[in-house]
């Protein structure tokens, strides 16, 4: 069976995976973009986010690249798809990424409000799932055709999957910044009790990379 993986999810030194007050101008919350100083220069992120050749190599690139290997589908929380709250007023919001999003595989968006699938360029189709996290995972695994499913976040969605012990492996990058407020990734989560342990850790000048796996 395909694995459910969290990849390149970054937290601050004070444990926040997103800043406060997400809106159209602050998709990761106020200060949230500072978390990703390790990732944005990498060859992988330059290619997938900006369509550019080149970029930094080394430890950070190794972890950025592994997040796109053997991925057949993604799962996102609604906040990761956009800033719209409540019932969809219309279908004009099409994501943060333009007409050719970075995913290039099916993406399953958790929401309480139904919406028709959104077909984008490059092989990305957003499917809006109202039946909960297990239904989203089942649909994503079917769409992945044996490849792994990447859980993109945000914080609350990762917590929901963790509490149900549905995540097989997590790569967390710890960025040397302080946010002071926002959403703490492991707030109220007892990882050892859920069976998770650190299986790998190493550092670059810009981040400490930690891999957690379910025993």
Whether 36 is covered by a domain: the verdict is: no
What average pLDDT is seen over the chain?
Answer: 95
Question: Would residue 145 count as lying in a domain?
Answer: yes
pLDDT of 26 strictly over 90? no
132 occurs within a structural domain:
yes
CATH number at residue 130: 3.40.430.10
Q: Which helix (H) or strand (E) holds 159?
A: helix 155-163
What is the pLDDT, as a whole number, of residue 135? Answer: 98
Q: For residue 29, is it within any domain? A: no
Q: What is the pLDDT of residues 121-137, one digit of tens each?
A: 999 999 999 999 999 99
pTM: 0.95
Angle, nearest 10°, between helix axes 133-144 and 155-163? 90
pLDDT score, position 42: 98
Using 50, 70 and 90 to split pLDDT, how confident is the model at 24?
A: confident
Q: Is position 31 within any domain?
A: no
Q: How far is residue 25's CA from residue 36's CA, in Å, rounded to a whole number?
A: 16
Mean pLDDT of 70-74: 98
Which tokens hold the place of 47?
């290619």
Model pLDDT for residues 102-111, shown as the tens digit of each residue: 999 999 999 9
Chain centroid to CA 59: 19
Cα-based distances in Å from 64 to 127, 138, 198: 25, 26, 19
Question: Rounded to an integer, what distance in angstroms lies between the CA atom of residue 1 and that of residue 159?
Answer: 22
- pLDDT score recorded for residue 44: 96
Q: What mean pLDDT do residues 83-91 have? A: 92
Of 127, 196, 167, nearest to 6 by C-alpha is 167
93 is written with which tokens?
A: 């919001």
Range of the domain at 106: 4-23+42-85+98-214
Query: pLDDT at residue 55 above 90?
Result: yes
Max CA pair span of the chain: 45
196 domain residue, yes or no: yes
Radius of gyration over alpha carbons of the chain, in Å? 16
């Amino acid at each position: 069976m395909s694995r459910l993986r969290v990849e390149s999810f970054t937290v601050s030194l004070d444990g926040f995976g997103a800043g406060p007050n997400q809106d159209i101008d602050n998709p990761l919350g106020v200060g949230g973009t500072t978390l990703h100083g390790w990732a944005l220069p990498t060859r992988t992120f330059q290619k997938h986010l900006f369509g550019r050749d080149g970029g930094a190599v080394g430890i950070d690139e190794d972890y950025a690249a592994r997040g796109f290997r053997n991925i057949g589908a993604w799962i996102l929380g609604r906040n990761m798809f956009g800033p719209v709250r409540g019932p969809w007023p219309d279908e004009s919001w099409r994501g943060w990424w333009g007409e050719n999003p970075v995913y290039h595989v099916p993406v399953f968006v958790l929401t309480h409000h139904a919406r028709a699938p959104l077909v984008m360029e490059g092989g990305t189709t957003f499917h809006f799932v109202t039946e909960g996290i297990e239904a989203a995972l089942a649909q994503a695994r079917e769409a992945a055709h044996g490849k792994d499913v990447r859980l993109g976040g945000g914080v609350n969605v990762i917590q929901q999957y963790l509490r149900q012990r549905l995540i097989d492996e997590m790569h967390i990058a710890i960025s040397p910044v302080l946010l002071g407020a926002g959403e703490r990734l492991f707030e109220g989560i007892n990882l050892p009790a859920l069976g998770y342990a650190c299986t790998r850790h190493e550092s670059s000048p810009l981040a400490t990379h930690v891999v957690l796996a379910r025993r």
